[in-house]
Amino acid sequence: MADNAGTTRLESYYKLHAAIYDLSRWSFLFGRKEAIKGLPMLIKYPNEILEIGCGTGSNLSCLTKMYPMANFTGIDLSSEMLEKAARKKPIQNFKVNLIQANYLDFTADCKYDIIFLSYSLTMMGQYKSGVIDKAIEDLNEGGVLGIVDFNSSHFGWFKKWMQYNHVEMKNLVDHELLSTLEIEKRSLKNAYFGLWKYFIFFGRKLPN
């Protein structure tokens, strides 16, 4: 997802933030529940679900309740975040496969019906197009790629602050890559009266 230096910085960042992640992120990571609740309208009975950048497993915990018959995989760079995820009851009950790895180095042993990225793509720097490309490759035909993330801000000071926190709020979506998907949903919404915008995207992989 990033070069070695960038990966090390992210791992160090989440080593510090893992303990407070679930307590703090509700206040600004908007759209996650809305995105997850919209999935059953797009795909009712998935067999394999992957979250890239699964963090502490909050999204996976919600997904296990919605899709109790599916198999779940979560991948993340941070061992501390994955340790938090592993303690969650839904993660334990559904035997979610948690993997510490760089997604670009990960070789899946199956194709996925749903691949979900929640506020992770903006932290992948120059590698976000490669991540999207690989995610599309790892989808089954008819599978759905879901993304919720920061999009942009008109305020330079805010973008600098977010960059300090490893979030790049520009050139987020590679339209050329995403154009290979059939768009099911694409929405852009304001947060805190326009301090920044976030987006929700769902695209379906078409048959070759």
SS3 178: helix
Q: Out of 12-16, 99-103, 169-173, 188-192, pick the least confident.
A: 12-16
Tell me the pLDDT tens digit for each residue of 20-54: 555 445 555 788 999 999 999 999 999 999 999 99
Mean pLDDT (the chain) is 86
* HSE-CB of 187 using CA atoms within 13 angstroms: 14
Its domain, for residue 187, covers: 4-205
Share of the chain above pLDDT 90, in %: 63
- Of 23-27, 35-39, 93-97, 152-156, the range with the lowest mean pLDDT is 23-27
Beta bridge partners of 73: 50, 97
pLDDT band at 177 (very low <50, low <70, confident <90, very high): low
Answer whether residue 19 shows pLDDT above 70: no
Number of domains in the chain: 1
Show the DSSP H helices in 43-184 as ranges.
Answer: 58-66, 79-86, 89-93, 128-138, 156-164, 175-178
- Type of residue at 9: R
Q: Beta partners for 150? A: 198
Average pLDDT over residues 63-91: 94
Q: How far apart are CA 73 and CA 55, in angstroms?
A: 12
Give the helix, strand, coil percentages of the chain, each rounded to 5.
Answer: 45, 25, 30
Give the pairing of strands 112-118 and 139-152: parallel
Edge-to-edge order in the sheet of strand 112-118: 97-100, 71-76, 48-52, 112-118, 139-152, 196-205, 181-191
Predicted pLDDT at 35 = 94
How far is Cα 176 from Cα 31, in angstroms, rounded to an integer?
24
CATH number at 186 reads 3.40.50.150
- In angstroms, what CA-CA distances link 143 with 23, 55, 100? 32, 23, 24
Q: How far apart are CA 143 and CA 23, in angstroms?
A: 32
